[in-house]
Amino acid sequence: MPIVIRPELPFVIPPKEEVTMFMSVPLWIKVQSGGTTLQEIPSVSLSETWLGDSTISGEICYASKTSAKLIFEHILKRPYRAICALQIKNHSDKEFPFVRIKIPVQNLSLFKDEKNLFYTETIMLTREKNGTDAKVNLTKSPHKEFGKPHKFSGPRHHLEEGLMARAITSFFGKEV
């Protein structure tokens, strides 16, 4: 199940600007028996939330608040969480309010460094010049601030090509 992350305080990305935020998401514990997955649970207790335009259109997600940091060194590093970098580029002439983002944690790979800390690929969100469309991509490796961690595991669930934009819902609760 994806995680909807809300900043402690919503903020705005000015026109023609970009920002990289660092946040953490809980690791997941997979319980297996004989190669069969019995259960996958988050390493921390999360509440559930509904994300959608209505009670008919949407999905259940886990909810989390983040104290996202603009400086990597300021993020609290915990052994039961993975650090994600979210790079947002606003090519529009209008402000881009950041209210929430749905992160498909089940589709992210894990990378591990020599200190046994975990990281994910960088999530890149680009708001197009028209101000309504956005493009979402995952990089193939973690953010450069993370050093050179090695790949620990692939995603729990592989995302079909072209579905990343639907997998990440952002800002206004609409698909981008």
In tens, the pLDDT along 75-125 reads 999 999 999 999 999 999 999 888 888 888 888 999 999 999 999 999 988
Q: Identify whether the C-beta of residue 88 lies closer than 8 Å to the C-beta of residue 127.
A: yes
Please report, as a single letter, which amino acid is at residue 57: S
Q: Identify whether the C-beta of residue 24 lies closer than 8 Å to the C-beta of residue 84.
A: yes
**Which residues does residue 73 pair with via DSSP β-bridges, in sequence order?**
none
Count CA within 13 A, CB hemisphere, residue 163: 8
Give the Å distances, CA to CA, from 67 to 6, 38, 44, 136. 9, 32, 16, 22
Q: Identify whether the C-beta of residue 107 lies closer than 8 Å to the C-beta of residue 43.
A: no
pTM for this entry:
0.81
The domain ranges of the chain are 3-175
In tens, the pLDDT along 142-168 reads 999 999 999 999 888 776 554 455 444
Q: Check residue 159 and give its pLDDT.
A: 66
DSSP state for residue 151 in the 8-state scheme: E
In tens, the pLDDT along 26-65 reads 898 889 899 898 998 888 888 888 888 788 888 888 888 7
